[in-house]
Copies of this chain bind each other. A is one copy, B any other.
Amino acid sequence: MKQHRLLRALRREPVDATPIWIMRQAGRYLPEYRATRERAGSFLALCKTPELACEVALQPLRRFDLDAAILFSDILTIPDAMGMGLTIIENEGPRLERSVRSIADLNRLGDPDPEMELRYVMDAMRLIRRELHDRLPLIGFAGSPWTLATYMIEGAPGREFVHARGMLYGDPGLLHALLRKLARCIARYLQAQASAGADVLMLFDTWGGVLTPAGYREFSLHYMKEIIAGLRQARVEAPVIVFSKGASACLEDIAACGCDAVGVDWTADLGAARARIGQRVALQGNLDPCVLTAAPEVVRREAAAVLARYGAGPGHVFNLGHGIQPQADPDNVFALVEAVHDLSRAHHGCADPRASG
């Protein structure tokens, strides 16, 4: 397994072709996913039924030659397991029954045991691991402390995160206490995922980019750094990918946080990102997800452009710059995976793909 293309790329070792997986590759753009979700009754029921979660995690692997599987779950399993009461409203997003706006709210939060309250996640991980055998690496993940905190402070989805960003200035002590609690909980959760079979761990910091650079370093990155240090101390060896959407202003700081790879969103230039931090970490990204709604030849052209921007040599994990959209055409995903494997061989010293395949 350690010699798999994805794991080699994450260690910045030479590969035959650039590995590719897709954020939310098990998702609504696939008719078979929609059917399984229908059967489950709701998105949350799907997450909480290990057999169905395993089934949808495997679905994209049957269609596409992807280089990794990823646990099917949601970043809000943790606030849910802490007792906040999660529901996901169709076409609207997640809603928590309670919100955290005071020390009393904070003290009411539970301290979930990954093998108890979050057992369904670990069971899904073990099932996927078993079904995959050692054919493909399996990615586990969690939301970052800051990103989970935004949902927990806001309660309902809000575009501007007024309460969370306001707490940063109005009651930074309370925010730090919440983030500390989350960081400990997330570290334990990821450690348990590694024990249950994850080969790679990823931190999704979806809302890191709504902070100022100083705020990002203090309230988001700092706690991701603590989580990674905690994992290393617990002798978890799985490489860690950090993805802070919209935070490219802080790329150098992210690359120094102890992670093995940095996710780059589609609004950044991958070549510029590599020039800034590609000597220290691998990079993951960063095709605009909207490309997958266009024609296959556009997909191929844009995939080639991303590969060219990264340039020759190892250290690139191809992905979209954000999760795949429900509007994406599955045929385009097929074309994308093929294009990345095919076109990237030239960047790895195999000019003729037929000869080297």
Chain A, residues 154-178, CB within 8 Å of chain B (1/0): the string is 0000011010011011100000000
Interface string of A195-225 (1 = CB under 8 A from B): 0000000000000011111110000000000
B210 contacts A325, C-beta separation under 8 Å: no
Interface SS, A side: helix
Interchain CB contact (< 8 A) of A325 among B160, B212, B288, B293: B160
Q: Min CB distance, A293 to chain B, in Å?
A: 4
Give the copy number: 2
* A339 proximal to B (CB < 8 A): no
Could you mark each residue 241-273 of chain A with 1 if its beta carbon is under 8 Å from any beta carbon of chain B, else 0? Answer: 000001111000000000000000011110010
B272 touches A249 (CB 8 A): yes
Q: A266 touches which one: B170, B212, B291, B327 (CB < 8 A)?
A: B212
A294 interface residue (CB < 8 Å to B): yes
CB distance A294 to B170 under 8 Å? yes
Across the interface, which residues of B come within 8 angstroms of A288, CB to CB? 165, 169, 212, 215
* Complex CA–CA separation, A176 to B302 (angstroms): 19
Residue of B nearest to A325 (CB): B162
Q: Are B169 and A211 in contact (CB under 8 A)?
A: no
A291 — nearest CB in chain B belongs to which residue? B169
A298 touches B249 (CB 8 A): no
Given the known interface contacts A215-B288, A267-B210, A268-B213, the answer about A298 and B170 at a Cβ–Cβ threshold of 8 Å is: yes
A45 in the interface (beta carbon within 8 A) = no
A-B contact pairs, 14 of them (CB 8 A): A159-B159, A160-B325, A162-B293, A162-B327, A166-B290, A166-B327, A169-B293, A211-B267, A212-B267, A212-B321, A215-B288, A246-B267, A249-B267, A249-B272
